[in-house]
């Protein structure tokens, strides 16, 4: 008799709590092999092909393309073993109950492990609730919804249109929420999750449910908070135009765009940053690069030379290769430099990380920058490629601009910005000359150091740009 196994969205690493289904790679009824990729998902950091640890026939898929699922939510079910003769393969009979009694034997896993899920033994799929056992169908949505009732000081939020109506007593047990982001969003806006019915699998409450409830409550003027809870400012002087207003387009803040928005907002909220900048004569740096490339071998990029200068400067000013542990009220300094660099792609801004940049020479840095940039453009960066940075280099000069005041890449403590290198009038050796000039800017967390340290770092970087031979002291 076939055993129906449920494969849930695994933890894809680095604290990711949800992913969006981009493309299904299998259909219901397809035969899949162990470790075969079954779905392509987009996390806040990268595109990932998710392999299934079970081999068999796909009996169900959960979520259409474009659906956002939390980690731990069911992705699909697979019938493993001989097909059942007395019923559909996707229904678990008494012998396949949740406790596993009556199975012919344990099912071995694939051994292919993503972060957070091992496949040594597969759990049996829980029996799905039949429509006759489910809660009553939702009531039709009225044209003008009545005011939301209040329970325990919280406004009762309206459920999404796709969610069934709440059955009295159905939420007496644990609240079906997996994502901590959903809990935080509800807590900050005073929503009682016990008063909601989720639209996810088995009534799971998703972020979309909470956002729908907030919009409904705001429209009725009933959104509030309990005493002592924070409130997120959601009103403006003028009401936001409705989604169906001609000429108005609403773009969801999700995926990479949503992650960038959250991270930059957090940086501006938590980090007391300051910026200093200086113009530098990069003529000698460009001549040095030309001499390196004329000697044969792989071509050296300007970004690699700037990265090498950064790592040398961080060795002199380690305060900037750090982060702040706000809970412990401590500055955490790092001995190793994991250098992030900003890369613009069709999917948005990403910051790949070059591991152990302080141990690499210019050739190695050039090769690693090229590899990560190509992966970023192809959308194949892994979560490990996008996390763990300790300092960021932002070459916004590629956009044809001279200067900027970059936002610190939280939780790092500093970012070096580099403008375009262009010919400009410059006083060189007492005479006016046309030189290759670049503007450098450093944005830093003022908690980790004072202006003297930041200024010293930036001045050292500028000195190395103007006189690359200064680097010979540290090689």
Instruction: Identify the active-site residue in 338, 410, 428, 446.
Output: 446
- Interaxial angle between packed helices 362-378 and 302-316, expressed in degrees from 0 to 180 and rounded to the nearest 10: 120
Tokens of 139: 């009531």
Catalytic residue flag (residue 410): no
Rounded to whole angstroms, the Cα distance separating 461 from 314 reads: 10
Bridge pairing between strands 18-24 and 47-52:
unpaired
- Token pair of 55 as six digits: 């081999």
Distance (Å, rounded) from C-alpha 96 to C-alpha 3?
7
Nearest to 345 by CA among 67, 25, 42, 14: 42
Instruction: List all residues 6 or more positions away from 289 whose beta carbon is below 8 Å from its beta carbon.
Output: 300, 302, 305
Q: For 330-361, give the DSSP string.
A: EEEE-SS--EEE-EEETTEEE--EETTGGG--
C-alpha 309/C-alpha 459 separation (Å) is 11
Contacts (Cβ under 8 Å, ≥6 apart) of 323: 331, 332, 334, 390, 411, 412, 413
- Would you call 188 exposed, middle or buried from its count of C-beta atoms within 10 A (0-12, 13-18, 19+)? middle
- What distance in Å separates the CA atoms of residue 291 and residue 468, rounded to the nearest whole number? 12
Planar angle of CA 430, 292, 442, nearest 5 degrees = 60
As a whole number of angstroms, the distance between CA 201 and CA 6 comes to 12
Reference 159, options 212, 117, 231, 119; nearest CA is 212
| Cα–Cα distance, 386 to 233 (Å, whole number) | 31
* Of residues 218, 217, 192, the one with CA closest to residue 205: 192
The pair of three-digit structure tokens given for residue 470, joined into one six-digit string: 């200064």
The backbone torsions φ and ψ at residue 446, rounded to the nearest 5 degrees and listed phi first, read -70, -10
Q: Write the burial class of residue 127 (CB in 10 Å: 0-12 exposed, 13-18 middle, 19+ buried).
A: middle
Beta bridge partners of 52: 36
The catalytic site residues sit at 446
């Amino acid at each position: 008799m076939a055993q129906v196994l449920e494969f849930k969205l695994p933890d894809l690493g680095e604290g990711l709590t949800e992913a969006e289904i981009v493309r299904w790679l299998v259909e219901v009824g397809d035969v899949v092999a162990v470790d075969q990729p079954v779905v392509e998902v987009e996390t806040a950091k990268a595109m990932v092909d998710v392999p299934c640890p079970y081999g068999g026939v796909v009996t169900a898929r959960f979520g259409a393309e474009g659906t956002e699922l939390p980690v731990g939510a069911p992705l699909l079910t697979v019938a493993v073993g001989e097909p059942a003769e007395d019923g559909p393969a996707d229904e678990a009979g008494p012998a396949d109950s949740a406790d596993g009694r009556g199975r012919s034997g344990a099912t071995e896993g694939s051994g292919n492990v993503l972060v957070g899920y091992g496949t040594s033994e597969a759990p049996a799929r829980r029996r799905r609730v039949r429509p006759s056992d489910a809660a009553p169908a939702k009531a039709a949505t009225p044209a003008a919804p009545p005011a939301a009732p209040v329970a325990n000081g919280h406004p009762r939020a309206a459920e999404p249109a796709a969610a069934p109506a709440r059955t009295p007593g159905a939420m007496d047990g644990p609240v079906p929420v997996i994502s901590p982001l959903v809990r935080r969003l509800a807590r900050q806006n005073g929503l009682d999750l016990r008063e909601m019915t989720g639209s996810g699998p088995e009534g799971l409450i998703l972020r979309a449910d909470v956002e729908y409830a907030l919009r409904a409550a705001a429209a009725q003027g009933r959104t509030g908070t309990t005493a002592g809870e924070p409130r997120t400012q959601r009103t403006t002087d003028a009401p936001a135009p409705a989604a169906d207003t001609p000429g108005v387009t609403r773009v969801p803040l999700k995926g990479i765009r949503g992650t960038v928005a959250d991270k930059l907002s957090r940086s501006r909220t938590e980090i007391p940053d300051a910026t200093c900048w200086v113009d530098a004569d990069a003529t000698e740096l460009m001549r040095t690069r030309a001499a390196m490339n004329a000697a044969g071998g792989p071509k050296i990029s300007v970004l690699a030379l700037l990265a090498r200068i950064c790592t040398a400067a961080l060795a002199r000013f380690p305060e900037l290769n750090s982060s702040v542990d706000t809970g412990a009220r401590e500055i955490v300094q790092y001995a190793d430099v994991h250098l992030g660099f900003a890369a613009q792609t069709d999917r948005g801004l990403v910051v790949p990380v070059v591991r152990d940049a302080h141990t690499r020479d210019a050739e190695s840095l050039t090769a690693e920058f090229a590899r990560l940039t190509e992966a970023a453009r192809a959308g194949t960066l892994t979560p490990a490629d996008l996390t763990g940075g300790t300092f960021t280099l932002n070459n916004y000069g590629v956009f044809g601009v001279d200067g900027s005041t970059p936002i610190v890449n939280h939780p790092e403590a500093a970012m070096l910005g580099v403008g375009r290198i262009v010919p400009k009038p410059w006083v060189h050796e007492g005479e006016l000359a046309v030189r290759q000039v670049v503007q450098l800017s450093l944005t830093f967390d003022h908690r980790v150091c004072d202006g003297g340290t930041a200024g010293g770092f930036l001045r050292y970087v500028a000195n190395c740009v103007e006189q690359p031979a200064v680097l010979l002291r540290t090689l």
